[in-house]
Structure 1
Amino acid sequence: MATIEVTETSPNSFSVTVHGSHVTTHQVSVKPDYASELIGATQNIAELVSASFKFLLDRESNTSILRSFDLSVIERYFPEYPKAINRYLK
């Protein structure tokens, strides 16, 4: 199972390192309005990013995940993402 490390690098931007069979690093931006649509005020954005990587890793390897993207891009590849993400939040 992969380990996910999320570090906020600036407001609404995160560096994500995934330790799986290969170690990968990803730069993720999150628009506050988009995060609010997904989680409201129940979780912080770093938790949303971590949960989003869990969602992605259930569908593809960490080496297949884009190296730099805005969180809203996930929905283009996986239309079920907005409805499924709450299952991945702790």
Structure 2
Amino acid sequence: RKLTGLDIDETDFDTTKGVSTVKSFEDMGLREALLRGAYAYGFEKPSAIQQRALVPLLKGRDVIAQAQSGTGKSSMIALVACQLSDPGSREPQVLVLSPTR
């Protein structure tokens, strides 16, 4: 989905040295089915937090990703969980812990 009110090109970000931005979902190495699903739900391109954190998460790195509400953090975690899961397995593969407000 297109985030409104945020101009990514004119925003400053603190990013760990060595972490690069990946500007498209295709360049992240996601499964074709996940790409189709993301586009079907209206996501056009990764948000700023997704551009920086999704690939390191896929590589198994520990990531602290802080961003405003509505910037795509939860969908990023869902994409990573789906990408790293084996669709043919019937065993639990992902545990998501989320604080309540």
**TM-score, length of structure 1 as denominator length:** 0.29
Bigger radius of gyration among the two:
2
Where is the strand percentage greater, Structure 1 or Structure 2?
1
**TM-score, length of structure 2 as denominator length:** 0.27
